[in-house]
Amino acid sequence: MQKTVENEQLLSSYIKSADQLKRAERNQKIFKVVRLVIIYALLILVALIMIFPFYWMINSSLKTLEEYNKAVPTFVPLDVRWDNYARAWTANGADFGRYMLNTVIVGVVSTFLSLIITILSAFAFSRLKFKGRDLLFSLLLATMMIPGEMFTLTNFNTVTLWGWKNSYVVLIVPFLVSVFYIYLLRQNFKQIPDSLYYAAKVDGTSDFKYLTKVMIPLAMPTIITITIMKMMGAWNSYIWPRLVSSGTDGSYWLITNGLRSAFTDTATGMIDYPLNMAAVTIVSIPLFLIFVFFRKYIMRGVARSGTKG
């Protein structure tokens, strides 16, 4: 009889433990679901906040100027004007084809030359041994603490003295060297084992051949990242081209200068915002496509840069 009671107690205890375990598992599942709902709700909210400016840009580009200037904004155009995109291309006599060509020329040439300088400098600071290497690199890093406006002022005085204004040279040369890009690529180069370099030197490989055959292929994600960032910087550049391309004919204007100047009525000073937004939408498409197709290289290149050294 006593044994039967003990068995019943054990069975009851087992049932209670099983119920508690099921309850804990159910609570855990509920907590997991609630956590996922909160996370995705926050992600959707952030995504909407990020997407809304682009939606408003496209929405505004399809309106008439009268609808745009209404006191109560409309979230959907009442009169969709697709012709704004065609009109924006030649608004007020602007030559956006020329501005695009200037931007492409400046972007491609400056990116190519900047890559050469960045790769050679990063290789020297990461692999070559020479006196004062670390001190010189520290001084370069210290220049990153100087506000960019100070470089703009000194560079402007220099190019004005040399007569470089209103030319491709002034748009390309002053900003070919980027300490940040050199630092980024140097950190990536330093992750490559020194044993590879010493083995290559034993085989009689020159430094330049080792750089082109070994280091550049291994650091290609970071180099692609630098290329994309440099091109985007040239595409979005505004202050410097505005300062040094003061010609009224727009021969050396970049796309950003055209976006600012082509839609302003010189008589009234009013800006045709729908046409302006249409032009901004056209200009934003190349950057959007670059991000879509090369985003994995950007993330991989930054992740591989590391902090070694």
Same domain, 248 and 101: yes
Report how far Cα 73 is from the mean position of its chain's Cα atoms. Answer: 31
pLDDT (mean) for 166-195 = 87
- Segment 90-100, tens digit of pLDDT: 776 667 778 88
- The verdict on residue 79 lying in a domain is no
Lowest mean pLDDT among 80-89, 227-236, 286-295: 286-295
195 and 49 within one domain: no
Could you tell me if residue 78 is inside a domain? no
Together in a domain, 25 and 104? no
70 within a domain of the structure (yes/no): no
CB 115 within 8 A of CB 227: yes
Q: Tokens 């991000």: give the residue.
A: 291
181 and 222 share one domain: yes
Say which DSSP state 212 is in.
I
Mean pLDDT, the chain, whole residue set: 81
| 212 token code pair | 């082109």
Alpha-carbon distance 271 to 263, whole Å? 5
Q: Tens digits of per-residue pLDDT, 87-125? A: 877 776 667 778 888 888 998 999 999 999 999 999 999
42 and 100 both lie in a single domain: no
Is residue 81 assigned to a domain? no
- pLDDT of res. 19: 67
Q: Is the pLDDT of residue 2 over 80?
A: no
Over the range 113-148, which residues count as b (16 or more CB within 10 Å of their CB) and which as e?
A: ebbeebbebbbbbbbeeeeeeeeebeebeeeeeeee
209 lies in the same domain as 256: yes
Could you tell me where the beta strands, DSSP code E, fall in 55-180?
Answer: none
Residues 193 and 239 in one domain: yes
Better-predicted residue by pLDDT, 304 or 35: 35
What is the distance between the alpha carbons of residues 181 and 140, in angstroms, rounded to a whole number? 12
Most confident of the following: 8-17, 92-101, 219-228: 219-228
How far is the C-alpha of 248 from the C-alpha of 10, rounded, in Å? Answer: 94
- CATH code for position 178: 1.10.3720.10
Based on the fold, state whether residues 101 and 161 are members of the same structural domain.
Answer: yes
What range defines the domain where residue 214 resides? 91-305
194 in a domain, yes or no?
A: yes
pLDDT of 220 above 80: yes
Do 10 and 107 belong together in one domain?
no
**Helix 273-305 vs helix 220-236: crossing angle, to nearest 10:** 160
Statement: residue 309 has pLDDT above 50: no
State how far the alpha carbon of 24 is from the alpha carbons of 15, 19, 20, in Å.
Answer: 14, 9, 6
55 with 95, same domain?
no
> Residue 80: inside a domain, yes or no?
no
Domain boundary among 40, 61, 82: 61
CA-closest candidate to residue 297, choices 187, 184, 221, 216: 221
**Residue where a domain terminates, one of 61, 81, 111:** 61
Task: Evaluate whether residue 159 is within a structural domain.
Answer: yes
Q: At residue 6, does pLDDT exceed 70? A: no
The reply to whether 50 and 158 lie within a common domain is no
Q: Are residues 40 and 106 in the same domain?
A: no
- Beta bridge partner(s), residue 271: 264
State the total domains in the chain.
Answer: 2
